[in-house]
Structure 1
């Protein structure tokens, strides 16, 4: 892929010549222009006829055919978001920047719109950088995921790899709930309050482990014979398709994620087994 310098101490390419599109968090549509005019604005150098034809083509791509004469305040949030997207891609940018574009939508519409935008970008062959604070959004939208902390890139990789194998406590905690425990690792095995636990990756000696709630299993008795300690269920939250439990062991609470038909209730005595763990480095802000 050809590399171009867009801005440096010696180079300053005008924004309109950079081949970069931008979708704002609040859409930034022109309130006095209708849908077609808003979209066509992104292609100002073409003839009026070419701009109209291309705008209608892009409106078909984002499923807004028939709404071209409406003003923005007559559109739903999802429709406004698609107008902003259409305006950004009409000039066929090489790169599209999206600044939390789904944050103002309700949860149901946010998911469907996110899926539609992702499919459209792939169909058009447009690379995109999405900035978001939403864990689920980052994991489901991206092919490559980067976690930033204080302006620096903490970790980058596929969403699956970054979620399952975080390198620091910040990354592990930022991408969802996790359990941190101190343990001694020898030959890839840690002896913990959950019994013997397999540690992914290279780790040895005294380390800090991250164990995702869904990697913990609850049982009524120690059927593994691995030295796991008993604990008490002290919290339970039903979320429809799953339960989130808090289990106290030796004065420390641990989060456990189970499916919807888990039989345990608050007050039950249980034991936990960890499927796997990963060693993490404490971040520089005193965490853990």
Structure 2
């Protein structure tokens, strides 16, 4: 929503201000297809050179985050706390009973109560791998915490690739705009014997290249790269909550204390209230019963 609104504001303010100042869109519209072909085509080509096919697909998919925003909402954090509570409580009651849920989360009744989390491979793997390691007596809190930190750091590095790739394109666009402008100047020099009104249009068309490169870099692609990175960082808190709760569990805190540790480590704007979590946990207990 805000992504679309931002793009609309950019175009209205830039071109609206230009028109109100007495500018004419004729020269820009006449030059735009060719300048866009040069600048946009070169930017896409450079992007293809710099990235492999998986990174290209990942970046194309991540552009949607500019308009969709973070994947995880406040209700999802509450559901995650309930899911972890059920798994921890069951694991402490009977380590054998939790194994089917950990080994086959796709068919788990507990995971099935939280379908959005169940469909997220990273969250499910993070939970199941950690609980599985506990059943194998790999339960040193400090070692597990270190493993989780390294895993999440690697995941974040991979997730941020799209943002870095888009930012690299944004950094190169002004220079590509200069390339287009220089080509326009070369074209103008070939018509140096023409009258001033013709040369004026040719020079104006050449300058469209410089304008377009800077406009795309700082008005569209750069902000998109920043937004993708911000959304990735925002969604990372969801997986960080898993880490906090499972590490607290390894310290043998009561299950409700583990959940409270996770709740308090949730970002303010996503943190469910204590009463909401308590009510959700009661509902989870009744469903489990």
Same fold (TM over 0.5): no
Flag the structure with higher helix content. 2
TM-score category (smaller protein)? under 0.3
What TM-score comes out, normalization by structure 2 length? 0.26
Q: Which has the larger radius of gyration?
A: 2
Compare relative contact order (CA 8 Å, sep 6+) and give the higher one, 1 or 2: 2
What TM-score comes out, normalization by structure 1 length? 0.26
Flag the structure with higher strand content. 1
